[in-house]
Amino acid sequence: MKHIHLMLFLFLVISCNAQIDKNSSDINLDHKNTMPFNPLTESEKRVILEKGTEYPNTGEYNNHYKKGTYVCRQCNQPLYTSSDKFKSNCGWPSFDDEIQGAVKRVIDADGRRTEIICSNCDGHLGHVFEGEQLTKKNTRHCVNSISLQFYEEGDKLPSTITSLETITLGAGCFWCVEVLFQKLKGVSHVESGYAGGKIKNPTYKMVCDGNTGAVEVAQITYNPSIISTETLIDIFYHVHDPTTLNRQGNDVGDQYRSVIFYNSDEQQIIAEQVTQKIKDSNLWDDPIVTSIEALYNYSKAEDYHQNYYSNNATTNSYCSLVIRPKVEKFMAKYSNLIKK
């Protein structure tokens, strides 16, 4: 995809920019620009965002047994009640149960432990262990105090702060897609990755060889109170050609197929509704071949693919001759949605 002969540059520039020239539906960004979560100190970021661990026997809630509720320090979601807290002598607050639906479990990359995260904001809490016979429930949530905030019984709990959401889009070369969505208000992070293939964690070479079925995708993390899922999907349909099967411009192969990978039933419904509106609008002359699928086998692409345009804009001819014109047209077309 990226090893392009000079004779193809003009063709690629035209094909990469043609989609943004299509008429788009009017998009209005009428949301208040608020921070999605509570501000965090550097120590809190190290644990909650970077999955660090506080030193044992140092946390404020390690030997804390007042009656009340423990909420997520980042988003205020209630996580644990004091009735489920017990003394384990492990050095960190321990709970043998969580408030239903408040905590998600994720297997660590090495497969040895199970991480626990807030189900609303994905903030790191700690790890969960089973089989230790410490309580009747035989479960220990080992939680960092710094990930929690306590509210005593009778106190009014704060409102849970709106969660960030993620949606994963395949629209051709992930270098091109990543840089466009990075520029939108309400989008906090865009990650280039692979999804929808036979295996998880394929390499770039494996994907390019065409044997994995994986798609080059941009995984977009956004605040739905600032930019809606409908808006993101509408933009998706205007920045690539959803009528070409397994192809975008000169990039050919199933890794370039047009696809929306949803992360919730609500996202699926929205994707289907927006897709139907696009079809009804006759924006494209040919039938749309975009598929709408539940996200599966997603993995982050290699580090050198991340922020590719930003890191290579002045040194890579593909960036300067193909991606840059597309970025310029995108920013002009969606000027009311672009970050200042």
Catalytic residues: 142, 173
Give the residue from 257, 260, 268 showing the smallest Cα distance to 212: 257
DSSP state letter for 106: E
Give the residue from 125, 33, 28 showing the smallest Cα distance to 75: 125
Q: Residue 209 half-sphere exposure, CB side, CA atoms within 13 Å?
A: 7
Instruction: Give residue 219's Cα distance to chain centre.
Output: 5
Instruction: Give residue 72's Cα distance to chain centre.
Output: 20
Question: Locate tokens 């904001």: which residue?
Answer: 121
Residue 50 in contact with residue 43, Cβ under 8 Å?
no
DSSP of 159-203, one letter per residue?
A: PPPPPPEEEEEE-S-HHHHHHHHHTBTTEEEEEEEEESSSSSS--
Residues sharing a CB contact under 8 Å with residue 142, sequence separation 6 or more, in sequence order: 88, 90, 92, 93, 94, 126, 127, 128, 129
Helices (H), the chain: 9-21, 42-48, 174-182, 204-209, 229-238, 265-281, 308-312, 317-318, 324-333
Planar angle of CA 167, 171, 177, nearest 5 degrees: 75
